[in-house]
Amino acid sequence: MSYTTLLAGLSQLGLALVLTAVSGCQKPEAATPATSATGSANSTITTFRHPGVLNSKASLDLVASQANASDATRLAGYNKVIEYMNQYPVPTSFPAVVYVVGSGGSPTEDQIRRDAVLAYACALRWVKTGNATYAGQAKQILNGYAYNFQRYSTSPKPDGSPTEFRQTYLEASWVAPNFVAAAEIIRYYQVNGTTGAGWSATDIAKFNDFLNNLKNNYVNNVPGSISDINNWQVSCAYAKMALGVWFNSTTVYDNGYNYLLEVMPQVFYSDGAVKEQRDRDCVHPQYTLTGLTYAAEIARIQGNNTIYEYNGQQIKNGWNRFEDAVAGNYTRNCSGSQIFPGIETAYNYYGTAKLASLRDRQDPYGTPGDKTFVGFTSFTHRSIGR
């Protein structure tokens, strides 16, 4: 990222960040978090709540109790969890090297995306049923990558041209928070407030190494790897916030939080639409909207609604413009497009009629087809309150 582009973003945000923050997610983790000339740009979090990535103890208790009481709406959302697990069995082998293919996929790239979401599905099924089998399956996946994964590499695109190595940075930014969302439940949640998943300290330490590998060698490298400001930077910031919760690190968390607030004004047009909605297609703007929404939900669970409220509720306005596109009332017509499950989480917070119109189009929500983000939000987030 050039200094010109960065300073333009800072001007929109109205913050005068110190020089140590210039590299965004690449800032050394041990450095002092960035501050503005008039006050802190940081999250103000000092103690993290666990589980704290997309779900809290209270929200998990609520949705499990409602599903177990045969609430029809909650069960419809939960059935998406079961459908996913029926479609994808728990693997018995895990790749040491994951090969990333630009504008395509590879067997190992598909597997790591699929498995990260599967671990989350297993964790949610354990929460609902209390059956230790599902906690064990989640641990099998989390441990499988912790003990086997070594690195990302690349393979040629479908047209034979090389895949740029920077694509691995984005891939890691997608899967890292998905793994963390599952791991937070397995590490901290207790069924009926008494029974944990029994994840050993040795295995947790090995999983720490896996996440540090993703963070230090891939996620951290997103800033500056492309000239555009788009879903890449949002995915990086969201991943860093999730990782910060896992590591109980305010520095890592605030690194992502600050970076998200820095780039948010740069990914939208003045009419509220994500730039990629007008300029690209109907999928990539939902990467941005889902990443922003999930980051805002992490912050909300940690006691801070700033991201949801930022810049005149920019996230809500972005989903509004996407509804316009799905309804055929915007420059790009997105009618018939898959709607990402982040809409359910956004609607739970904002509760507006227009967001209801969008979420109602494909309710209940499972996962995105490409497994870039976890889903099952109609189970975890529908009508849970703020």
Q: Which tens digits make up the pLDDT trace of 152-172?
A: 999 999 999 999 999 999 999
pLDDT mean over 221-242: 97
The CA distance from 119 to 81, in Å, is 11
In a domain? residue 84:
yes
In a domain? residue 171:
yes
Output the DSSP codes for 257-298.
HHHHHHHGGGSB-TTS-BHHHHHT-SSHHHHHHHHHHHHHHH
The CA distance from 144 to 264, in Å, is 35
In a domain? residue 71:
yes
Question: Residue 208 above 70 pLDDT?
Answer: yes
* Residue type present at position 222: V
Question: Residue 35 above 60 pLDDT?
Answer: no
Question: Residue 24 above 70 pLDDT?
Answer: no
> Structure tokens of 353?
């009629």
In a domain? residue 385:
no
The residue among 133, 37, 113, 76 whose CA lies nearest residue 344 is: 76
pLDDT band at 41; cut points 50, 70, 90: low
In a domain? residue 152:
yes
In a domain? residue 204:
yes
Q: What is residue 15's predicted lDDT score, i.e. its pLDDT?
A: 36
The CA distance from 29 to 27, in Å, is 6
> Structure tokens of 231?
């879903």
Q: How many domains does the chain have?
A: 1
* Residue type present at position 342: G
End-to-end CA distance of the chain, in Å? 36
More confident residue, 228 or 38: 228
Question: Residue 37 above 60 pLDDT?
Answer: no
Question: Residue 190 above 70 pLDDT?
Answer: yes
- What share of the chain has pLDDT > 90, as a percent? 88
Q: What is residue 96's predicted lDDT score, i.e. its pLDDT?
A: 98
Q: What is residue 22's predicted lDDT score, i.e. its pLDDT?
A: 35
Q: What is residue 386's predicted lDDT score, i.e. its pLDDT?
A: 86
Question: Residue 28 above 90 pLDDT?
Answer: no
The CA distance from 70 to 103, in Å, is 42
Query: Which tens digit of pLDDT belongs to each residue from 85-100?
Result: 999 999 999 999 999 9
CATH number at residue 284: 1.50.10.100
Element (H, E) at 78: helix 72-87
In a domain? residue 386:
no
The CA distance from 304 to 120, in Å, is 24
Listed range (34-43, 72-81, 137-146, 194-203) with the worst mean pLDDT: 34-43
Query: Which tens digit of pLDDT belongs to each residue from 369-380?
Result: 999 999 999 999
* Residue type present at position 303: G
pLDDT band at 291; cut points 50, 70, 90: very high
- Cα 345–chain centre separation: 12
In a domain? residue 151:
yes
pLDDT mean over 239-260: 98
The average confidence (pLDDT) of the chain is: 91
CB atoms within 10 A of CB 305: 12
The CA distance from 181 to 127, in Å, is 13
Range of the domain at 30: 3-380
Instruction: Give the global pTM.
Output: 0.91
